[in-house]
Chain A
């Protein structure tokens, strides 16, 4: 089992490095029946997967899947109470150009947006999210991939020295970012 997951992670990593951001992955489309492939090619570019950092502890994700095959698979799986197929948002971090999976969040298959709560292990990392489908055999396929996000450290990370800021704690104190609730400019804009 562990071997299988590792294999899947490797596959995901390979696909992400291919910079297929925001697009349906070609390899998956190849396996579709001929008719569906044609349809998918016609409309696949209308798919999108966006991730937005809303706050330092929250990412908003939203997607649109245009491939009829994927839509059908997800809908069928959702209707079957005994199904073992799931839609996931996988969170991977960019470690010097290699993507390492750090989290996997199951997503309700009929949804098209999700809030991702930022965990400590995301902080200080450049992450990428992929909307992935895990079938009955735990075979993982990426459907869509987002753009990268630099997850900021939090004030708590500074307090605990998590971001190696020990030598700069005093500068952080003097900068005013803590007393201002990070930013003091509530008066921005006209």
Chain B
């Protein structure tokens, strides 16, 4: 590390969506999560990274992409439906623009231009988003990593080494299938860590992961510099602890930049203002379809139209402010740890663009600014050598509410853990009975039931019914299939039906 550097920054983005597939509906809400994340986050972030590379900016960002998301990105089913979504959105915007007055017209036109840009890009890359990520990875600027197969929160499945290992192994296999290599890093879903997990990760040659700050203070062994530099476990796993104050500058809904009144409003969707006949004509439900035309304005329900230029001016101010905050924090911390701090800043990728529309532009400006500075540098997780790291035994933790597992252990969903423990034991008993199709489908159902998303939806009171339905569906299917393996009677109809419904991980 050069002597002039006063602060190091490691940026990491984690892209994940649950595997949802509802073929009998044109644009179901749960699939819209994916289409909107593509339009608002994944494609804008790819465009942002491409621009930085074209401008020969020196930077590094770690980008984690979940196996369920990769499965959806590579599937023609979603490619066709996503293009149809973009076309419908553009048609709808065009129609509404014709009949609107000035303010509304300007806002709708701005959104339409933006969606058109995304659509043009999607067509130009022949709908191959994974191909674009590959190119970014080859540039050396984007450091792609993976996570567990269905985004299972691993500490909650500690009872089953079989499930944990399947989650990690299949996560790596899906990644390798798409990108041709197994990455050194591994994003632990929800930054969930538990005793001895480093030993299991070591079996899969995983060299680094990201944890929340309290993991390095509340465990049995602590690094001398706390959470202000990476540390290392006994098995050689590098721990990159999140810096909470700097993260919150970007992330906090109340005090962070994204809450500025000039930025685009996330919650108010113009779809709610469409007439019943318009909804029928475009065959869409009265659910947020992605017609985001307002700015945050204030805390009450009155919303003004979004002004793009004004928002871009605000991004300039905030990106400059963020650099100053890094500088101030580095000076403060350096006094206490006697070394240059390295702040790890991990975020959900969907924050940039989906939740915070201006996020990709903010990220681009921060990276550009840092690239010409001498006192702040961007690092990749592998830049810092292990020999310079203090040892740590991390505390069990997550980055969820209150720092542990409350969000996934709500009384309404606690029943799944004993159920899955029992199914896992039964599965292990029958795995030797050779029936490849049935055993593959059984493990797929167990993996899908273990996704952190369903319990999160239930605990957060959003799409509760869907979360409950998916849990019940996968657990029931697993019961039937494992029961079939036990009694050596295969229901081929059921296996075919289940695979057709959720055709992911077909290499198992």
Contact = CB atoms under 8 A, between A and B. Distances in A.
A158 B422 CA distance: 38
Contact of A183 (B37, B332, B401): B401
A97 to B, nearest CB: 13
Given A48-B159, A148-B195, A154-B218, A184 B244 contact: yes
B32 to A, nearest CB: 11
A168 B227 CA distance: 11
A51 B295 CA distance: 47
Contact of A147 (B159, B190, B212): B159
A185 B212 contact: yes
A46 B486 CA distance: 12
A105 B115 CA distance: 61
Most central of B394, B417, B421 by chain A CB within 10 Å: B421
Contact of B395 (A150, A172, A175): A150
B402 A181 contact: yes
A171 B337 contact: yes
A91 to B, nearest CB: 14
Contacts of A180: 244, 248
B429 interface: yes
B405 A53 contact: yes
A136 B418 CA distance: 30
Nearest to A163: B218
A190 B336 contact: no
A124 interface: yes
A148 B350 CA distance: 34
B354 interface: yes
B194 A149 contact: yes
Contacts of B33: 190
B318 interface: no
Nearest to A148: B195
A49 B332 CA distance: 47
Interface of A: 22, 45-56, 60, 62, 64, 112-113, 124-126, 146-154, 157-158, 163, 165, 168, 170-172, 174-177, 180-190
12 contacts: A45-B428, A55-B404, A112-B418, A126-B195, A147-B159, A153-B395, A174-B336, A177-B244, A181-B402, A183-B399, A187-B348, A188-B399
Nearest 6 Cβ contacts at the A-B interface: A182-B403, A176-B244, A171-B226, A152-B395, A183-B403, A150-B195
